[in-house]
Amino acid sequence: MTGGYNFTDDGPPQPMIPIIAYWDDYDKVPWALPHVYDYMEGWDAVSRTYPLLGETYNRRRYLTAYSKQQKTEFGTIYVDRSGGTPDSYTDNVSVSSQMITLGEEGEAEYEFEISSAGIYDVAIRISFPFWDKNSIHVSLDGTSKVFSENRLWWPYWRTTCWLSLVSGVFLSAGIHTVSVSTSVPGVQFYGFRVCSSFSEEPSAGEAEFMLSLANLRCERFNG
């Protein structure tokens, strides 16, 4: 269909009304969508993030997600410590390059230094690899917190995730200690970060679309 983006040939009573028109080659019929500036299907996104996937159903191309991934923000990161580099640990702790796995009554300690006293957030990175290995004790300077999955709903099942150890805590300049101990054997500890502002949420992904709007002109007709 041709024309100046309208179906009144630029004349009254409705000049310059936008229209989208296309040929449906499946049903062999034309389509016309008045008052539509641009028409996008899911696959027309110029970018998208995992876990969004492109699917097709009933000749419609759409985006969907079958899981959620963690979305995190840290602000300024002051300390970034890998779980695979503990300062001390017991014999029943398995150490790899990126993490530790806690055995029965396993313990590990990590020291870190704060250069300037202030208010900080501390986040830890862990993984519950199996349904029955789902609890761990983590402490900052002796103040302990238990992390365990919700058996009714846990968005980060069998994957690594960042969780808040403390938020808005005052840390003096000097050496501090993060301690990890067994609650249930088999939990994996991947490290921790000291940062200015930590937040996290499950995300099904994001998509961006580039629209092509027509330059329209409004006119008033008397008659």
DSSP structure string for 159-180: SEEEEEEEEEEEE-SEEEEEEE
Residue 2: pLDDT band (50, 70, 90) is very low
d(CA 41, CA 33): 14
What letter represents residue 74's amino acid? F
Domains in the chain: ranges and CATH? 1-67+204-223 (no CATH), 72-199 (2.60.120.260)
Chain centroid offset of residue 140 CA: 26
pLDDT of amino acid 155:
78
More confident residue, 20 or 78: 78
Instruction: Specify the pLDDT at position 46.
Output: 92
Residues found in the chain = 223
With cut-offs at 50, 70 and 90, classify the pLDDT of residue 16.
Answer: low
Give the mean model confidence (pLDDT) for residues 82-86.
Answer: 96
Is pLDDT above 90 for 152? Answer: no
On whether the CB atoms of residues 48 and 203 are closer than 8 A, the answer is no
In the block, which residue shows the tokens 């970060």?
Answer: 193
Asked if residue 81 lies in contact with residue 96, where contact means CB atoms within 8 angstroms, the answer is no
Q: How does residue 102 score in pLDDT terms, banded at 50, 70 and 90?
A: very high
Q: Supply the pTM of this predicted model.
A: 0.76
Instruction: Give the residue from 47, 51, 49, 48 showing the smallest Cα distance to 69.
Output: 51
C-alpha distances in Å from residue 169, one per residue of 84, 113, 127, 131, 146: 25, 15, 24, 32, 17
Task: Summarize the confidence of residues 144-148 as an average pLDDT.
Answer: 93
The share of the chain scoring above pLDDT 90, in percent, equals 59
Range of lowest pLDDT (37-51, 58-72, 91-105): 37-51
Rounded-to-10 torsion of CA 50, 152, 143, 86: -50
Please write the tens of the pLDDT for every residue from 116-142.
999 999 999 999 888 778 889 999 999
Averaged pLDDT, 39-48:
89
Phi, psi of 88 (to 5 degrees): -155, 150
